[in-house]
Structures are given as C-alpha cells and as structure tokens.
Structure 1
Amino acid sequence: MNSASYHQITHLPNRTIELDGKTYLYFSGTAYLGLPQHPAFQALIQEGLQAYGSVYGSSRNGNLQLRIYEQAEAKLAAWTGSEAALTLSSGMLAGQAAIRQLMLDGYEFVYSPDVHPAVWHLPQVSIPAVSFEEWVENVVKPSSFQDTAKVCVVTNSVDALRGKLYTFDWITRLPDDREWVLLVDDSHGLGVIGEEGKGIWGQIPSLPHVRIIVTASLAKAMGLPGGVIFSDKITLQKIRSTAYFGGCSPIAPDHLYAYLHATDLYAEAYQRLAYNVRQCATQLASLGLFNASNALFPVFYTPHDDLYPFLLQRGIFVYSFAYPKPTDRANTRIVLSAWHTDEDIETLVEACRVFAETRR
C-alpha cells in the first residue's frame, strides 16, 4: 500500500497548486502538453461552447448527426497516419468498445505486463509477472498458440508508470499461419511519442497477417474529455454498428471544435514539452535516483518512495500513489508538462540533488 496521504484542492492544477494555504510546484498528473490551463485553448473551448453547447446527448448513429465528429475523426486519422478514427466519450470506453468487438469475433486474448485496465476483457485478467522483453519472446514462439486460429495481443505503447517506451519490431516475427490482432493502448503516448507527438501508430510495422487497433484516452496530452480508436475502416464500422457504441453519448462537441482549431497550439506545446524533457533528463539521470527515461518521454520513475515526502516538505508535489489498485505498491514518479518553466525545473533538480546526497 502507498503510505502517502491524499490531498484535495478546489482548482485545476497548473504548474503550481495551492494546498493548505501554500503554493507547491506541481510535477504530477497527465496533462503533458499543458493544454487544460492554456488560455488560448480555453478560449477555443468557449467558442465551441457558444457554437455547440456543453453536450450532445444523442446517439452517433441517429438520423441527425453533427458533422464535427467526422471532421475531428478525419483530422485525427490523418495526423497519426491511420486509415480511420472513431471517437468516444472516454479512453476506457474506447478500449472496451474495441475489446467487446474482438470478443464477439472469437479472438483469444494475450496480455502484456502492466497492460491498462481499459483494454481488459474481464474484470480480472491474467497479467504476466515478467518483463516486457520476456513476454515478447513467449508470444513470438511458433508453439505458443498451436490450437488457436485467432489471437489478439493486447499491450500498451509505453510503460507510463516507469517511463519506458516499447518498440514493436517483434511483431514481424509473429507466424503468418493464423489471424492476429495487435491492440495497443496509446493513452500515455498520443500527443507525446513518435514524430511530433503523433503517437505509436506510425511506429508499428504494417503486416498483411496482423490487424492493428490503437485505442487512447484523449484526456491526457490532448486535453480533451474523450477517447479514440484508430484502425482500418472495416474494423471501425463494425464497432460503430454495435449497440454498445450506438447507445453511448459521444464526446462533447465543444472540445472537438477546440481540437480542430488548435493545430498550432498542439505543435507549440509539443516543442515546449520536448525542450523541458531534454533540460531535465540529463540532470536527473546523473543523480542515480531514476530509471533511465526514454528520449522525450516526460515521466521519471524512482523506486525511492521517500522522495515524495522529501520534496513535499520543500514545496514540490509529485506523483506517488498505488495504481491501478489501492492494494498495489506505491508508484513514485516525476511528470513534466509543457507548462513548466526553466526555473521550475532548476528548483526540482536541485531538490532531487539534495535528496541524492542524503542517500550517499
């Protein structure tokens, strides 16, 4: 169990938070691009609110449809390089819509270590307690699925808890004697990893015997309260035709309006985030406290859970709690955002340096 206490605030976090009458630097959360508190992004949401209202509670499959959904999905697909995209009201719902369709299609599921619950097909699934690399070697063995004609391999694009990116060249080793689906949750990668933050899609090899489905929350780097599925048009049409999708209320259209008009804001925020990660990575790595973070990924994991109260006493609030279940071990990590300044990072690094000195 995580020993860190839980705190409540009455405002949306920015680069700082107000807690018990004191200002803390905030290095937590998942708003990697800093958009929820970006004034220009908020102004676009206000424009969208005036044009579309706060919510569109009708079915996406109804006989009257808002064009903005198709416009936003076309832009998302073109940006990532996928054939098509389908938005839903949350990343969890996007993952479940994809999983449920694959269950109906008769696939057997194989899960990677630490895969996100959004893409579980049951309340409890068998998650292997091995490294990602060991798991890959088991999956690609020709003898692993001798009696199974249809296999869905389910994984994340990144290990966001420990700041580790995954590569997918190994899918070229999957035997071509059966139907494969690779289902990847890219919630912590979309907007952050890949060329200009375009996510994992463009980094996955294209193979005739492996169908690719990528799901993601848009509520992290993208700053939108919704989720998305990327895949081929036939797969997404099957999902869209289900009662599960048809019965769902869609993502609020005012936020899709903001997305459609925020191309420059996303690009600028990505560049700022990349700059912040470069500024921080070398200095933190030299302290020996953190797992080596992949290039341009804004999460720095440490096994030293006592870093959390140490930094808290010095006015710095970082991520430290059990996840995804309250009974899991605490996970302590520093999370960078585009909203952090050079001075914020200097303050953080210096405090971590003092902590490291106490451990020597």
Structure 2
Amino acid sequence: MIHYVDKFPGRKIKVRNLDYLYFGGTAYLGLQSDAYFQKLLIDNIKKYGTNYGASRISNVRLSIFEKSESYLAKLVGSEACISLSSGYLAGQFTRNYFNYKFFKRFFAPNAHSALLLTNDACQETYSSLKLALEEHLEAQEKTVAVVFLDSIDFSGSNYPDFNPLKSLPLANTILVVDDSHGIGIVGEHGEGVFKMLMSLGAREVVVCCSLGKGFSIQAGAIFGTVDRINAMTETSFYGGASPATPANMATLMDSQELMSQKRKKLKKRMHQFKEGLTEKFPHIIMDGHPTISFSNKGLTDYLEDKKVIVTNFPYPNEDSQTMSRIVISACHKKKDIQKLTRHIQEYFSDQI
C-alpha cells in the first residue's frame, strides 16, 4: 500500500491522521530531522547559497569541494575522491567511464541500476560470474575485466565477508563497487568498505556511492587512485555536470562529531533489536548494518495493523520482487524497538 505524507518521515509518520512508527527508508542516522544538523546546513546555505550551477572546471572555483573531497578520501582510505550532485550520477558516470573497447564489463548478481546502462545484464549467480571471468582470461583478450557490484546487496552475499568475491580471479580484475548503503554507516568511523575491498587483492578498486544515506546530504562521490580519479575529471561528463551543492559538502565536514554520536546510538538500537528477536523470524541481517530483510507479507500487514510501517514495495521497478525491509535508525527510541520486537514475537507466536 502506498502512503502519502506531508513531512519528512522520522521515527514516526502520520497516515490518515494516525501516528505510525516508521522503520523504513535510508535515513540511517536520522539526521534529516535533527535540529542541530539542520542549523549547520542552514548556516552553510547562508554562506554558500542554495545551489552552485557552474562547472567544476570553471575558472572560478569554490575551495570547499577540494577540502571535502580530501577529507572523504582520507576517511575511506583512498588516494583520491571526486564529488557529484547525486549518488545515481556517480554510479552512471563510473559505468559510462568504463564503457570503452579496452574494458570488458561484468555485472554481479543484484548490482544496482545506478551501475547499469540500458543493455547491461547482471549474472544470475557468482558461479556464472566466475565462469565468465575465467573464460575471458583464458581467451587472452587485451581488454581488462571490470566487475560491477553493490557492497551491500541485502541478500548477505557481499558485505561483510565478501566470500563470493574471494573466489573470483581478482588479481586481473578491476572492481567497481557501489557503497551507497555502507559509507557513513559501516566501519568504526563510517568509512565504508573501501579498505575491506583493497585487502582482497584486486587489480584496482573504484568505489562510487550516494552520500545521502549515511551522511544525509544530497551528493555522490567516487573513490580510487589519483591517476583514475584525475582521468575521470578530464572527461566531458564530469566537466558538463553541475557539482554537489557546496553547502551540503560543508555540512558534511562540520557535522562529523554529531555523526559519530549518531553512529554510537544506532549501534545500541541495533544491538537492542537483535537481543529482542525471536528465533522463529526468518530474516537476513548483516553484521554492523541496520537493515533486516525478510519475505513475509503477513508480517508486514500485521505490523501495519499494529501501527508500524516498514519498507515494502517492488524495487527498482514494478516488475521487480517486493522488497520487505526493517530499517533501524539512530532517531528511534528504546521504546520503539521494544514495540517492534514485541509485535514480531506476537506474530510468530500466533503462527503455531
């Protein structure tokens, strides 16, 4: 069922004049409705304006872009970083960059649509992906293999262990990974998965992502080597695109202490949720990530009857499988988690 709301959904949303607890969306740190975070953003809007439509290669340039990109590169552990106006644009830009005859592109199962062009198709399994890569290498083609995937695909296949990736011939493969659901959330400081991926021994690692889910700002970013990032900035795709809003990038830097506090609170809520779960609830949960995937329409309907709404819709299009997901946020209170786990326990107790 589609619900229309008139304000940003926080821990609660109002539907048909009734209050519901909300465990959906991707506002993992709950910053969008945080008063202090909003003040930081408003102050930066006053300084940098509401938008900056000029090209990044213009003769007049705002220093906040280089400062924030340097900060982000240091955070994730990459040599360099560039920012863009959205995570989807970052993914499409990266995919477009590798769309040349000297690259051979492969797409892992469940790769996000941001990494795909019209005629791209994902491999159905990692076994078939491994076979395709091995056949490519055995043919001794001059093209370099590039594998596109999501770091967190909600099936539990990749993050946190990346076991399917370890079976691939990574030494001869460039990995292009969308970390939109990881950066800002996973890792001790919200650094995401870049260092984890580098430890796997791939020929090269390029990470693209949205900064909206973990950092709560409208922007995207790409991480990689200095040579790769410099080459990407020399393209017409980069030069022709408007940059991220500078006020957003400044707010990202100004709110790191607040984000650290929110991550600690989120971890407490995640631990509380796990402690209150019933073993009868079949689900997928990834260590260190605040999402719980499941497939049970009855549970979704039961929770809604109890005034609890979770993520539940076909994604990324109407023909896709329905995505049911519980999302824990730093804005949730202890009593919210208690209510959620109690209702889950009640539902499965009634199924006996």
TM range (shorter): over 0.9
Q: 1:95 aligns with which of 91, 94, 104?
A: 91
State how 1:10-21 maps to structure 2 within 5 Å.
10-21=6-17
Aligned to 2:122: 127
Q: 1:223 aligns with which of 191, 204, 216?
A: 216
Contact persistence 2:21–2:309 (CA under 8 A)? yes
Aligned to 1:30: 26
CA drift of 1:207 comes to 7.3
SS state at 2:145 partner: strand
Aligned to 2:298: 306
Contact persistence 1:213–1:231 (CA under 8 A)? yes
- Please tell me whether residue 249 in structure 1 is matched to residue 242 in structure 2: yes
162 and 168 in structure 1: CA distance in 2 versus 1, 3 angstrom threshold: closer
- What runs of 5+ residues in structure 1 fail to find an aligned partner? none
Deviations 1:337-356 (A, max 9, x none): 11111100000001111111
Contact persistence 2:170–2:201 (CA under 8 A)? no
Further displaced range: 161-170 or 243-252? 161-170
209 and 323 in structure 1: CA distance in 2 versus 1, 3 angstrom threshold: closer
41 and 302 in structure 1: CA distance in 2 versus 1, 3 angstrom threshold: same
- Please tell me whether residue 46 in structure 1 is matched to residue 42 in structure 2: yes
CA drift of 1:22 comes to 0.6
SS state at 1:31 partner: coil
In structure 2, distance between residues paired with 1:215 and 1:103: 16
Aligned to 2:151: 157
CA drift of 1:197 comes to 2.0
CA drift of 1:208 comes to 7.4
CA drift of 1:128 comes to 2.3
Deviations 1:327-346 (A, max 9, x none): 11211110011111110000
In structure 1, distance between residues paired with 2:350 and 2:157: 24
247 and 119 in structure 1: CA distance in 2 versus 1, 3 angstrom threshold: same
CA drift of 1:139 comes to 6.0
Further displaced range: 149-158 or 339-348? 149-158
Deviations 1:47-88 (A, max 9, x none): 101101100010011000000000110010111111111000
- What runs of 5+ residues in structure 2 fail to find an aligned partner? none
**Percentage identity across paired residues of the two chains:** 28
Contact persistence 2:151–2:179 (CA under 8 A)? yes
Contact persistence 2:108–2:148 (CA under 8 A)? yes
Contact persistence 2:44–2:247 (CA under 8 A)? yes
Contact persistence 2:76–2:194 (CA under 8 A)? yes
Count, aligned residues: 349
Aligned to 2:267: 274
In structure 2, distance between residues paired with 1:102 and 1:146: 21
TM-score (norm 2): 0.93
RMSD: 2.0
Contact persistence 1:77–1:84 (CA under 8 A)? yes
- Please tell me whether residue 342 in structure 1 is matched to residue 337 in structure 2: no
Contact persistence 1:161–1:331 (CA under 8 A)? no
In structure 2, distance between residues paired with 1:124 and 1:143: 21
CA drift of 1:137 comes to 4.6
196 and 42 in structure 1: CA distance in 2 versus 1, 3 angstrom threshold: same
Aligned to 1:118: 114
In structure 1, distance between residues paired with 2:101 and 2:230: 14
CA drift of 1:143 comes to 3.9
In structure 1, distance between residues paired with 2:90 and 2:280: 38
SS state at 2:137 partner: coil
State how 1:137-156 maps to structure 2 within 5 Å.
137-138=130-131, 142-147=134-139, 148-149=141-142, 150-156=144-150
In structure 1, distance between residues paired with 2:155 and 2:39: 32
Contact persistence 2:178–2:208 (CA under 8 A)? yes
CA drift of 1:145 comes to 3.2
Contact persistence 1:113–1:135 (CA under 8 A)? no
262 and 135 in structure 1: CA distance in 2 versus 1, 3 angstrom threshold: farther
Q: 2:64 aligns with which of 68, 78, 82?
A: 68
TM-score (norm 1): 0.91
Aligned to 2:206: 213
Give the AA of the match of 1:335. V
In structure 2, distance between residues paired with 1:135 and 1:105: 23
Aligned to 1:319: 311
